[in-house]
Amino acid sequence: MTEGSLWNKILGFAFPLALTGILQQLFTAADVAVVGNFTGDLGQAAMAAVGANTPIVALIVNSFLGISLGTNVVVANAVGRKDDETVQKAVHTSMIVAIIGGIIVSIIGQIIADPLIRAQNISDEAVDMAILYFRIYIAGLPVILLYNFEAAIFRGIGNTRIPFLALVISGVVNVGLNVCFVVGFGRNVDGVATATVISNLISSIILLLFLSRSKTAARFDAKKLRINGAILWKILRIGLPASAQAAVFSTANIIIQSAINGLGTTVAAASSAAFNIEIFSYYVLNSFGQACTTVTGQNYGARKFDRCKKALRLCILEGVIIEGIMVSTLLFFGKELLAVFNPDPELVEIGYVRIMFITTAHLLSLFYDVMSGYMRGYGISLTPAIVTMITICGTRVIWVLTVFAQYHTFMSLMIVYPVSLGLNAVMIFLLLLIRRPAKKLSQQPSVK
């Protein structure tokens, strides 16, 4: 990432990363589609149960993904400096954090599963299935987090292809197991949740094998598994603000999901199906944000500040083009895609409302994601996280308590997405103008 043309390197990094995220989401999409079509009269309730888990699972998983961004940046900076020792320490420290953190949170999740799910205002016909799905999914959290931290290590060294190939294999297994458990054995949400956990186990093992045989500084060696305090602090200094941002972000979405659940089972099921479609465009924009983090991180480590600024411009330009194509595609085929989950006409119409509002809002989200990724590559993580928490999360909570409380319609709830994302894009842009990391850091002496 520190030599040669950048535009093709950014695309080569972002495309596999976007496809990886989309494939991960297909795990959940397959869950929703299978239970929506093959569980008879319980179809909509099962869809609502899986959908009700989405914001809670996102709260837990994304909090750790925020920390894994710290791994990404630390590894990328070290690669740029050609500091193999730091890469090694970051790899083994991150593995321990993923496994131990996953075990602890999994145990806590089992304890609080019942009150946590019931607090979401889920319909009586869906609540028990939602609790069952959550318990099984959360039991697999250690391997889910392990995969994501392994993927962060690969991103740090500039490789997004191997995580994608791992998910291709595990994704095929996931779909096959979904059909096997639900259609073949007559299971419900427990079958699709089990399939998802098994698939994540497979992908984490595949990445572990690749890291064990790697000829780069990121090679994994079980004998070196230990936490390095200094490296852990570097990871947490960058990762914890991103983690807090993700946690608050997901909490706001839980509040919105609770409002959606209160509109009835059909609306909840439609929203669940739409989420599994719109999220594809999010993974596209997020891939360019993470590309900006990695390219900036490596070139900051190499003290090549002009390439950092060029990466910001190219990530925005390329991201707008690719994201525009994705949004247009989802809008054009949105109703047909919704019918795959459940062909009920009312469900399709409601779901399309969500797709229209949120996919178009993702074009605004692209700007703040890339600009935040740029600052994170320099190690600036706290201030973008605070701004995002205030603008996006604050706006959404206030909106639910005021505008939605007044009009109480699904459309009035969806309007909050473009409003909050647009406001945040403006605020992050202003923050970038104020901080100007490349200008400040270029005045510092080079690190030898």
Closest CA to 277 of 331, 217, 229, 325: 331
Lowest-pLDDT choice from 131-145, 162-176, 235-249: 235-249
* pLDDT above 80 (res 101): yes
Identify the band that residue 174 occupies on the pLDDT scale cut at 50, 70 and 90: confident
Predicted confidence (pLDDT) per residue in 188-211, tens digit: 777 888 888 898 899 899 999 999
**Element counts in the chain: helices (H) and strands (E):** 17, 0
Identify the band that residue 329 occupies on the pLDDT scale cut at 50, 70 and 90: very high
Overall average pLDDT of the 11-40 stretch: 72
Query: From CA 22, how far away is CA 147, in angstroms rounded?
Result: 15
DSSP state letters, 96-130: HHHHHHHHHHHHHHHHHHHHHHHTT---HHHHHHH
DSSP state letters, 163-220: HHHHHHHHHHHHHHHHHIIIIIT---HHHHHHHHHHHHHHHHHHHHHHHHT--STT--
Query: From CA 142, how far away is CA 113, in angstroms rounded?
Result: 17
User: Burial, 64: exposed, middle or buried (Cβ in 10 Å; 0-12, 13-18, 19+)?
Assistant: buried
**pLDDT score of 332:** 93
DSSP state letters, 121-133: ---HHHHHHHHHH
**pLDDT score of 179:** 80
**pLDDT score of 443:** 44
Q: Which of 1-15, 193-207, 240-254, 379-393 reaches the highest mean pLDDT?
A: 193-207
Overall average pLDDT of the 339-359 stretch: 89
* pLDDT above 80 (res 51): no
Identify the band that residue 448 occupies on the pLDDT scale cut at 50, 70 and 90: very low
Overall average pLDDT of the 325-346 stretch: 89
Query: From CA 385, how far away is CA 27, in angstroms rounded?
Result: 28
* pLDDT above 60 (res 352): yes
Length reported for the chain: 448
What is the percent of the chain where pLDDT is above 70?
91
* pLDDT above 80 (res 291): yes
* pLDDT above 70 (res 441): no
Identify the band that residue 96 occupies on the pLDDT scale cut at 50, 70 and 90: very high
Query: From CA 271, how far away is CA 289, in angstroms rounded?
Result: 26
CA distances from 435 to 375, 378, 387, 439 (A): 9, 11, 13, 9
Identify the band that residue 37 occupies on the pLDDT scale cut at 50, 70 and 90: low
Tokens of 247: 């946690």
Q: What average pLDDT does the chain have?
A: 83
Helix axes of 7-38 and 265-301: crossing angle, nearest 10 degrees: 160
Q: Report CA torsion sign: 310, 10, 147, 56.
A: positive
